[in-house]
Structure 1
Amino acid sequence: MAIWFTKSFTTKVFEGYLNSLGEGSSSVQANKASHFKDKIRWMVRNIGCKTEFTPTCFTVPLLAHEEDLDNIAGGSSSVGDNTAGSSSQQTTPTPRRRAQSRLLELERHVAINGRIPMTIAPGAEKPISPHAVRFSQAIGVCVRKTFPVRCLKWTDVGREYIEVVKGDLQRFFVLDFNDQAMNRFVEHQMLTTFKEFRADCHKHFKKYSDPEEARANPPNALVGRDEDWHFLCDHYISRAFQEQSRTNKAARQKQPYNHSSGSKSFLQRQYELAERRGQPVDRVELFRETHVRAGTFVSQAAEDAHNQMLELQSQPTPEGSQPLSEDEICDQVLGRRPGYSKGLGWGPKPKARRTASASSSSTSCSQSTEKEIELQAKLHEALERIEVQDRNHQALASQVEAMKKMIEDLTRAQQGPPHDP
């Protein structure tokens, strides 16, 4: 039998609890307030308590309106600055609150309409649905609350955590994980979110010029998890991470342009454009739609690429041959790497005619990319080994210094006190 808490009851209990805190310091009161909220949330998760959310008796789990508890306590937690007094004056929703609002909206939708069916478009390996963005956002929220911060690589994330996230998603969506395409998409989206969260933490770390100051000011998502934050800080100042960070930064700077599609996948945009226009939208037109903002291309490089595609489309076809398809034109102008078609994103692999020269060029490019990835992995491993050797060398030097001091002390002791002449 579920236990119900009205929102007003929770508020009154909390206000009474605050009155019992006495004249302690604000930090002590804040810690106790946080402890109270944790207790309430524990009851929800473990005892099955529920709470009334609106006067219309619309009911959702208390966890879904943790934002109200945060408002009662005058505090919040998210990735971002953690400055004293900022919570009471904060007017802009924090990332964590936005995530909670998304889950709350999803809870409401599911309570009224039932779980949302999600399928993968044949050959696309991505969902195409009015709820596609909501699905990706839900994956992100579940990953952030489930995956351990100390997993430095995707391979460090145990299957048990991945299965927990899949179970959470099935509360909101009808998913067939026997479909390999669905499995691939969800796990790839988990990986993407996992990397984005770690990037957010690193961005917060870089706000501080002094590493010790950074250690003392965790992002709001890691407040109260000092060991996890200190672990990340130590990782950020390691030689291996800094070298890898410089390599990644150089690679990002080589990217000629960004897209203007926001959080929607290119395939979702293509589907919506086709629905609105009543006719298919090819990849050349899709490239223009996803690289224009307010009627202007996001960069000169993007405009040049589009003009080159149009030029290839307009070229006369030699007698006895077939014109280039849109896929071939895009691959020729934008390039392509395994598992990723530029202008379509991760996953889709359109089949195009392959001439002998095109096949040779594609194979050469693929081999070059694979070789680059392999070399980067070897470089990273070598840097890690160097760092371990450096730590061992420092430890050995300390031991030698200690032994040297011990020998000097023993020598002085054997010689006895100095004699006056």
Structure 2
Amino acid sequence: MQYKEWRHEPEEARFPLRHRLTTLFEIDVEDGNIRKVINNHMARAWRTHRSQLHNYFKGIGGPVDPTKAKTTPPPNMGSKDDWGYLCDMWCEPKYMETMEKRVMACGKRKMNSRNGSKSTIRYHIERGLDLDSSTGQIETWRLTHWDEKKGWRSTDAAAKYVSLLDHFLFVLI
């Protein structure tokens, strides 16, 4: 837990986790594609776990009383050193300033999307589409703001989609 992101975790720390998978499942962890999928799942699990730890930290009053928070690690915390590192990191002024900016930016959003922390452009490229394709970008935007079961995220999102289509059709004519 003492690394900013999963991708910074050293290979020595990742190896035992991958090895554990071979005892539970019959998979070839040496295959590059399989390793990539495993790594993506582990990165997501790592972020989720760290987020849960941060919520626990905030729940016990960590930002107000960091000393108390350091002495009260969660039951699922592996190492007290990791917990101390995380508590120190979450109390740093630079970290708190960054989090405050993120919260303010999130609050200013007019339309929520389904692509999480990825930009729409990144999502578009990962779908294997060309950036020069206007229709492809409009479709990517639709996919990130519309759900088959729930429909549009908001009426603003639906209106924006219609305006994008109208603009595209106007340019074609």
Q: Which residue of 1 aligns with 2:21?
A: 169
Whole-angstrom distance in 2 between the partners of 1:158 and 1:167: 15
The answer as to 2:52 corresponding to 1:200 is yes
Partner-residue secondary structure (3-state), 2:46: helix
Whole-angstrom distance in 1 between the partners of 2:108 and 2:26: 38
Contact 2:145/2:152 (8 A) holds in 1: no
Q: CA deviation at 1:159?
A: 0.5
Contact 1:150/1:231 (8 A) holds in 2: yes
Partner-residue secondary structure (3-state), 1:258: coil
Q: CA deviation at 1:304?
A: 2.9
In 2 relative to 1, CA 295–242 (structure 1 residues): closer, same or farther, beyond 3 Å? Answer: closer
Partner-residue secondary structure (3-state), 2:112: coil
Contact 1:292/1:298 (8 A) holds in 2: yes
Whole-angstrom distance in 2 between the partners of 1:289 and 1:258: 5
User: 1:342-401 deviations in whole A, cap 9, x for unaligned?
Assistant: xxxxxxxxxxxxxxxxxxxxxxxxxxxxxxxxxxxxxxxxxxxxxxxxxxxxxxxxxxxx
Aligned partner (choices 82, 89, 93) of residue 228 of structure 1: 82
Q: Which residue of 1 aligns with 2:11?
A: 159
User: Unaligned stretches of 5+ in structure 1?
Assistant: 1-148, 267-282, 319-421
Q: Which residue of 2 aligns with 1:275?
A: none
The answer as to 2:102 corresponding to 1:245 is no
Q: CA deviation at 1:213?
A: 3.3
Aligned partner (choices 9, 19, 31) of residue 178 of structure 1: 31
User: 1:94-137 deviations in whole A, cap 9, x for unaligned?
Assistant: xxxxxxxxxxxxxxxxxxxxxxxxxxxxxxxxxxxxxxxxxxxx
Whole-angstrom distance in 1 between the partners of 2:40 and 2:115: 21
In 2 relative to 1, CA 308–229 (structure 1 residues): closer, same or farther, beyond 3 Å? Answer: same
Whole-angstrom distance in 2 between the partners of 1:151 and 1:225: 14
User: 1:194-217 deviations in whole A, cap 9, x for unaligned?
Assistant: 223222211211121432332343
Partner-residue secondary structure (3-state), 1:259: coil
- Give the TM-score normalised by the residue count of structure 1: 0.29
Q: CA deviation at 1:288?
A: 5.2
Contact 1:150/1:232 (8 A) holds in 2: yes
Whole-angstrom distance in 2 between the partners of 1:217 and 1:253: 31
Q: Which residue of 1 aligns with 2:70?
A: 215
Kindly report which structure 2 residues correspond to 1:268-417, keeping only aligned pairs within 5 A, or say none.
284=139, 287=142, 291-292=146-147, 295-311=150-166, 314-315=169-170, 317-318=172-173
In 2 relative to 1, CA 247–177 (structure 1 residues): closer, same or farther, beyond 3 Å? Answer: farther
- Give the TM-score normalised by the residue count of structure 2: 0.60
Q: CA deviation at 1:237?
A: 1.1
In 2 relative to 1, CA 289–177 (structure 1 residues): closer, same or farther, beyond 3 Å? Answer: same
The amino acid that maps onto 1:217 is: T
The answer as to 2:112 corresponding to 1:257 is yes
Whole-angstrom distance in 1 between the partners of 2:20 and 2:164: 43
Partner-residue secondary structure (3-state), 1:174: coil
* Larger helix fraction of residues: 2
Q: CA deviation at 1:309?
A: 4.4
Whole-angstrom distance in 2 between the partners of 1:285 and 1:243: 32
The amino acid that maps onto 1:308 is: S
- RCO higher in 1 or 2 (8 Å CA, sep ≥ 6)? 2
CA RMSD across the alignment? 4.0
In 2 relative to 1, CA 220–297 (structure 1 residues): closer, same or farther, beyond 3 Å? Answer: farther
Partner-residue secondary structure (3-state), 1:221: coil
Contact 1:284/1:309 (8 A) holds in 2: no
Contact 1:284/1:306 (8 A) holds in 2: no
In 2 relative to 1, CA 221–291 (structure 1 residues): closer, same or farther, beyond 3 Å? Answer: farther
Whole-angstrom distance in 2 between the partners of 1:245 and 1:286: 27
In 2 relative to 1, CA 227–161 (structure 1 residues): closer, same or farther, beyond 3 Å? Answer: closer
